[in-house]
A and B are shown apart, each in its own frame.
Chain A
């Protein structure tokens, strides 16, 4: 409970802060209740017709239809399929990019750097359109290619940072026992960098899963297109808000599960990778530094997230 920034609060201050917390909580709750009631109230449209509120049964009865759920499931599976294929390619590309970026040969390093800068500065959506029009692949492969190149570039940068943050002795030791430079990179440096950067890589895969929704624009039948756009077009815009809420819930479930997994892995590898570098100076980028002011010091008891 004690904080560096102020003295421990006395009984009066504790009472005041509790009171304020309760009042703020009530205000937020009242706002949410008002929002829900306002959305549920029947509306009169411009021509005088009265529409039922958004929580009315007539807007939700469509979910009794089996086919609706099947369409939603198909969309979610398509999203996961695209994310899975793109993630595999992105990891392979990321490894290749990171090796190209730290290569000792100028002829490899400089072109890779230029390509990476180009790719990282471009919107994924533009890349999708580009691949779709120029190489006339289907919408699935356009989406997969754009997502894997873009996320591969970001994963490559993360791995490069990981390799750079290793103590120099690691590479020197590898060379000293007679490994070739390439073997040193592969067998000594890369495994350590990969483990250190795993939380960042998984966080990037969550971004990739979210970004599959961009394939909606190039016409791929993923969750947003089949679950929201097509169903709304088919059953009428009366149901659009209901479909939106359900699709939102599906996306949140998928992404929160993956984020949670990322956090679990971050906690695990965080304690392990510390052992590699404790004998030397601390690496420049540490995921969690116990010596800094966390929100706990500002009166927040929740602590910082691992990422």
Chain B
């Protein structure tokens, strides 16, 4: 326990960097994910094909390989804005197809009768999408989207293995210094992660219940 209290500043610094990675990569992945999802449901065949291939390739590549590429090979190709930025890029690229899939499944979840009804009362394509389909899709998208962000929170730990000082990096450093209290240190780190993941999970559960009433 003593080792945990002694190193509290290090834990907090790691926690701050974890949250920073989560926020930056989360925002980036959201932006890219929306673009990819739009490409995947667009009527333009070539954009659709590109988005599909991108999704398949990235989803089947291990995150460790993506971050390895960012941390070792990008600097070798003379692109080195620092390990934090590199890890953010890697996490953004890795998370964006998952965001896109969550968005797509939300749009797919809207009942076809809704669109038919909107069309038969004379709404145009844009009106149907913006007044009928999208408002429902957005509600249904939030729970799976939060699940993607929970996964992202856990994935930021991999950045700790590639020179970013976040929670996992802090855990490695502190356990190296204090080999006698490994158990307490690792449990403390787990508590920090659970703080983020469980609270996000509670929000997702609450939203899901609301949506279930709405349908």
Contact = CB atoms under 8 A, between A and B. Distances in A.
Contacts of A228: 65, 68
Interface residues of A, number: 60
Nearest to A24: B46
Interface string A128-151: 011001100000000000000000
Nearest to B196: A121
Interface string A196-236: 00000000001000111110110000001000110010000
A61 B64 CA distance: 26
A4 B76 contact: no
B73 A244 contact: yes
A120 B150 CA distance: 10
A118 interface: yes
Contacts of B77: 39, 241
A214 B64 contact: yes
B35 to A, nearest CB: 13
Given A295-B40, A304-B108, A124 B115 contact: no
B27 to A, nearest CB: 21
Number of contact residues on B: which range applies? 35 or more
B107 A217 contact: no
Given A21-B45, A252-B57, A295-B104, A124 B154 contact: yes
Nearest to B48: A300
Interface string B193-211: 1100110010000000000
Interface in A1-44: 4-6, 17, 20-22, 24-25, 28, 39, 43
Interface stretch (A160-168, A177-185, A286-294): A286-294
19 contacts: A5-B119, A17-B44, A21-B45, A24-B47, A121-B154, A210-B63, A240-B72, A240-B76, A241-B77, A244-B65, A244-B73, A251-B61, A252-B60, A255-B61, A293-B110, A293-B111, A293-B114, A294-B108, A299-B43
Given A126-B190, A241-B77, 20 more contacts: A17-B44, A22-B46, A24-B46, A24-B47, A25-B45, A121-B197, A122-B154, A123-B157, A129-B172, A129-B175, A129-B186, A217-B158, A244-B73, A291-B112, A293-B110, A293-B133, A295-B40, A295-B104, A298-B41, A300-B42
Interface of A: 4-6, 17, 20-22, 24-25, 28, 39, 43, 45, 117-118, 120-126, 129-130, 133-134, 206, 210-214, 216-217, 224, 228-229, 232, 237, 240-241, 244, 247-248, 251-252, 255-256, 259, 291-295, 297-300, 302, 304
